[in-house]
Amino acid sequence: MPITLLWAVDVYGRVYSLSTAGQRWERADDRLLELKRVTAGKGRCWGIGCDHHVYLNMMPIIYGVCAFQRWNPVDGFTDTLLPTDRWPWSDVTGMNPQPLHSSSSPLPQLGGGKGDWYVDQSCGGEPGWEYAKWNSCVRRRRWIRYRRYIAQGTWAKSRKPPLPLCDISCGGWEMRPLWKIPLPLGRVWFREGIHPRVPEGSGWEEVEVPKEVAQLSAGPGDLLWGLLWDGNLLVRTGLSLDSPTGTSWIEVESPGKEVEALHVAVGASVVWVVTKDYKVWFRRGVNSHNPCGSGWISVGGEMMMVDVGLNDQVKIFPLCYGKNNTLLILPHNKERSFR
């Protein structure tokens, strides 16, 4: 099981992480860093600083090169190629030479290597070779290695956003990274150009909203819900690889009668809401084809906040902490009749 991190910010803006391989909270190395809010995705964590800048913390990045060989009847598959062939070692596109042990990096943000090169066994057959058509007599395989993302300390400061921010949510890494940010004026922005080799993205694109948004939550796929200042909820429809910003918004009423919603959390196929009377609600029937779901189920009460992690695991933050400051974690059970 891969190691994952749970991120948190205390009332003083200090950033902490809890690893699945550890047993205690670890404070970020950058002791001068002060954040107001953090949100984590696959291999990365974004935060809003007290200086209103957006910060990015990256896990080591997988960097790959491709080996290319041609078959001949005398020696079999070798590195001896035809003049019209691609390079024997190239980047993933095959257009640019990239020797396996080259110290150069395709991006200035990628630092030195971490660990040894190894064959990517997830591609092709054994041991990692992908073969072309039977009459082409060529094959290739991918070698990968982890590289560090260079930043000041462990957090990289991105360009200052158009306006000061109040919330941030990341998601969509199963189709492509999506980053949407609501501002104090209730406007929503999308971070475009995010790619595994360009994790910080390239620019901001505003997404029109019918009402002012107070909070957003994005799942790993194509689910995006927002909390409105009036206590109702907003659902983005039409999210896909071809349309990463979606097409339209649909408003959903708060689950509590005459009680406004306080917080919303979205997973791969689940939506959880806390209302202002501190009751927790589950949205039934949510999926890619029906992002709005079909109804609410009351789960319990006396909770301040919920968060959804990997495999739709739910973390619940009690209204009053116990003697040992307990954090409740509710595993998602697909056999439960929530839908």
Q: Which of 188, 83, 78, 98 is closest to 147 using CA atoms?
A: 98
Give the count of beta carbons closer than 10 Å to the beta carbon of residue 301: 13
pTM above 0.75, yes or no: no
Could you say which DSSP state residue 97 is in? B
In whole angstroms, give the CA distance from residue 312 to residue 154: 28
Decide: 100 and 65 in contact? Cβ < 8 Å: yes
Residue 138 half-sphere exposure toward CB, CA atoms < 13 A: 15
In whole angstroms, give the CA distance from residue 157 to residue 184: 21
In whole angstroms, give the CA distance from residue 246 to residue 250: 12
| 191 has a pLDDT exceeding 90 | no
pLDDT-derived band at 295 (thresholds 50, 70, 90) equals very high
pLDDT at 254: 93
pLDDT at 63: 65
Of residues 263 and 333, more confidence is placed in 263
| 233 has a pLDDT exceeding 60 | yes
Residue 312 in 3-state DSSP?
Answer: helix
Percent of the chain residues past pLDDT 70, beyond the cut: 77
Percent of the chain residues past pLDDT 90, beyond the cut: 16
In whole angstroms, give the CA distance from residue 233 to residue 273: 9
User: Out of 33-37, 234-238, 317-321, which region has the weakest mean confidence (pLDDT)?
Assistant: 317-321
Per the structure block, which two tokens stand in for 56? 């990015």
pLDDT at 334: 38
| 248 has a pLDDT exceeding 60 | yes
**Fold adopted by 161-330:** Methylamine Dehydrogenase; Chain H (2.130.10)
| 147 has a pLDDT exceeding 70 | no
Number of H helices, E strands in the chain: 0, 28
Sequence-separated (6 or more) residues with CB below 8 Å from residue 324: none
Decide: 157 and 58 in contact? Cβ < 8 Å: no
User: Out of 195-199, 258-262, 283-287, which region has the weakest mean confidence (pLDDT)?
Assistant: 195-199
Residue 310 in 3-state DSSP?
Answer: helix
How buried is residue 34: exposed, middle or buried, by Cβ count under 10 Å (0-12/13-18/19+)?
middle
Sequence-separated (6 or more) residues with CB below 8 Å from residue 181: 54, 161, 165, 167, 168, 169, 188, 189, 191, 216
In whole angstroms, give the CA distance from residue 203 to residue 180: 12
Per the structure block, which two tokens stand in for 153? 């300390």
Which residue spans of the chain are classified as CATH 2.130.10.30?
A: 161-330
In whole angstroms, give the CA distance from residue 199 to residue 40: 13
Question: Mean pLDDT of all residues in the chain?
Answer: 78
The segment with the largest mean pLDDT, out of 60-64, 89-93, 138-142, 152-156, is 138-142
Strand order from edge to edge, sheet including 35-41: 35-41, 44-49, 54-58, 156-157
State the average pLDDT over residues 250-257.
90
Of residues 252 and 90, more confidence is placed in 252
Of residues 271 and 143, more confidence is placed in 271
pLDDT at 260: 92
Residue 311 in 3-state DSSP?
Answer: helix
pLDDT at 107: 45
In whole angstroms, give the CA distance from residue 256 to residue 281: 9
pLDDT tens profile 96-116: 888 776 645 444 444 555 567
State the average pLDDT over residues 68-95.
86
Residue 336 in 3-state DSSP?
Answer: coil
Per the structure block, which two tokens stand in for 327? 């954090």
Place of tokens 């009402």: 211
pLDDT at 64: 74
